[in-house]
Amino acid sequence: MEGPGVNVTVTDLKDFYLCKAIPWIRRRLGWREPITYSVAMGKEGEVPRLEGAKYEVLLWDPATALVGVVDAITEDRVYEFKRFTRGKVGHFRLQLLAYAYLANRNGYKIREAVLLMNGEERLRIEVNENHLGYVRDLTKKIREELSLDKPPVVYPSKRLCEVCQYKRVCLSTPYY
């Protein structure tokens, strides 16, 4: 993909983890999820105060065109805050690693990525070179998929598809 709009967002990576079609639907079709109650309430939540932290920091890597806004960053840590506790955190793990990658590409020396849910630590990752390489390679793959005329063929679980906000416009799933 060339020209405007080629950036891959950290949200694209997080959503790609859930279903490979979501970033394509959002970026190529322009479809947006409606704002859910939990998202709206989460934006109103109280943010933990961390010593020496900068908040809502925009990070961009021109080499991969990955961009994102990290909730908080210190000299050696990135933080993601979620107001509500959730059972599964795999997509948030990828989100944290993407922020760590971006921070390192922007001059920070990130060694840990931390997820706080409802003010409590839910996940702490010791960031290593393998993590950063994975984010770089995944970003490249998503950029390639976004350049395709058709969405990737996916077979997520029927349960995930049933609750997906994108099912009305999804061209990839065999369930609808």
The 3-class secondary structure across 31-99, one letter per residue, is: CCCCCCHHHHHHHCCCCCCCCCCEEEEEEEECCCCEEEEEEEECCCEEEEEECCCCCCCHHHHHHHHHH
CATH of the domain at 154: 3.90.320.10
Report if residue 168 sits inside a domain: no
Per-residue model confidence (pLDDT) at position 104: 98
Report if residue 170 sits inside a domain: no
The closest alpha carbon to 133, from 96, 95, 98, 93, belongs to 98
Structure token digits, residue 150: 């058709």
Report if residue 90 sits inside a domain: yes
Per-residue model confidence (pLDDT) at position 161: 83
Q: How confident is the chain (176 residues) per 10-residue block, as mean pLDDT?
A: 67 92 90 71 73 96 96 97 85 96 98 94 97 97 91 78 84 64
Distances (CA, A) of 173 to 110, 113, 115, 120, 167: 38, 33, 31, 36, 8
Burial state string for 69-97 with b = 16 or more CB within 10 A and e = fewer than 16: ebbbbbeebbbbbbbeeeeebebbbbbbb
Per-residue model confidence (pLDDT) at position 42: 57
Q: Which residues contact 64 (CB under 8 A, 6 or more apart)?
A: 8, 136, 139, 140, 143
Give the residue numbers spanning the domain of 55.
8-163
Per-residue model confidence (pLDDT) at position 95: 97
Per-residue model confidence (pLDDT) at position 105: 97
> What one-letter code names the amino acid at 176?
Y
Distance of CA 117 to the CA centre of its chain: 16
- To the nearest 10°, the Cα dihedral for 85, 89, 92, 98? 150
Number of domains in the chain: 1
Report if residue 14 sits inside a domain: yes
Report if residue 2 sits inside a domain: no
Per-residue model confidence (pLDDT) at position 158: 78
Report if residue 173 sits inside a domain: no
Rounded Cα distance between 58 and 46, Å, is 20
pTM, two decimal places: 0.87
Per-residue model confidence (pLDDT) at position 39: 60
Per-residue model confidence (pLDDT) at position 2: 42
